[in-house]
Amino acid sequence: MEDTNTKPKREVVVPGDLLDDKGLRPGSGTYVQEGKVYSSLLGVKSIRSNYVNVIPLSGRYLPQTADTVVGKIIDIGPSNWLVDINAPYPAPLHVNEVPWRVEFGDTARFLKVGDVIMAKILMMDETNKIQVTMNESGMRKLQGGHVIQISYSKVPRVIGKGGSMIQMIKNMTDSRIFVGQNGMIWIEGELDNILVASRAIEMIDEGAQSSNLTERVKEYLESNAPAEGQ
């Protein structure tokens, strides 16, 4: 447990652990009982500006409005598609929310079952009804490529500080990658490169907590990346 950083050591908590009883406010992943804040999740405790939060280590993705996600079409209706975004609920994509003009009943011409799209969470109301949209810049159907699934809580590590991690993987494997907030990742490129890139991402998913992760991933990429990698 070396002190490599100025930040205090983050502590793993399990449901029911006491987080604070001295007036910090309950954040995400917590609940209050008799004035004390307890953890409701298996995760890592973090204190930020008077709030105690628990950052989950596992679990299902719960959509947040304006998240960018990668999703797969799983069903087609006459005026909507159903998108699997790995959330507890189905996410409908209405024809009004796509950049094309779609006649009623003509939905299958635009997106078929199995197609992969980039979409934005339009809203998630208090009854957890989800709506996704493609009427935003950058949202589109993803042609070809390969989709892998990681835990959504590891997405920030895959992206890295200011996008450094994902940029490194993209450059060194010469592939195009989109990371959805829901943990679904779309990769396109040469087959070998896709394999190297997805293995690198899996490494991050498995060892998201370990130190010198960046170096380890870099090392892996250097020894396995195609010749043109730097």
Binding site for other proteins (CB under 8 A): 1, 4-5, 7, 9-12, 14-17, 29, 31, 33, 38, 40-44, 56-60, 88-90, 127-128, 153, 156-157, 160-161, 207, 209-213
Q: Which lies closer to other proteins via its Cβ, residue 3 or residue 228?
A: 3
Q: Which lies closer to other proteins via its Cβ, residue 29 or residue 189?
A: 29
Taking the complex as a whole, how short is the minimal distance between the CB of residue 18 and other proteins, in angstroms? 9
Measure the CA angle with vertex 157, ends 197 and 228; round to 5°: 30
Q: Which lies closer to other proteins via its Cβ, residue 131 or residue 153?
A: 153
Taking the complex as a whole, how short is the minimal distance between the CB of residue 88 and other proteins, in angstroms? 4
Q: Which lies closer to other proteins via its Cβ, residue 156 or residue 229?
A: 156
Per DSSP bridges, beta strands 80-84 and 116-124 are: unpaired
Contacts of 204 (CB under 8 A, 6+ apart): 150, 154, 157, 158, 165, 213, 217
Query: How far from chain centre, in Å, is Cα 155?
Result: 4
Taking the complex as a whole, how short is the minimal distance between the CB of residue 163 and other proteins, in angstroms? 12
Q: Which lies closer to other proteins via its Cβ, residue 127 or residue 143?
A: 127
Taking the complex as a whole, how short is the minimal distance between the CB of residue 9 and other proteins, in angstroms? 6
Contacts of 37 (CB under 8 A, 6+ apart): 18, 19, 20, 21, 24, 25, 26, 30, 31, 52
Whether 97 and 133 have beta carbons less than 8 Å apart is answered as: yes
Taking the complex as a whole, how short is the minimal distance between the CB of residue 84 and other proteins, in angstroms? 10
CA distance 182 to 212: 25
Radius of gyration of the chain (CA): 20
Q: Which lies closer to other proteins via its Cβ, residue 32 or residue 113?
A: 32
Taking the complex as a whole, how short is the minimal distance between the CB of residue 73 and other proteins, in angstroms? 16
Q: Which lies closer to other proteins via its Cβ, residue 9 or residue 22?
A: 9
Amino acid, single-letter form, for residue 34: E
Whether 30 and 43 have beta carbons less than 8 Å apart is answered as: no
CB-facing half-sphere around the CA of 19: CA atoms within 13 A:
36
Taking the complex as a whole, how short is the minimal distance between the CB of residue 135 and other proteins, in angstroms? 25
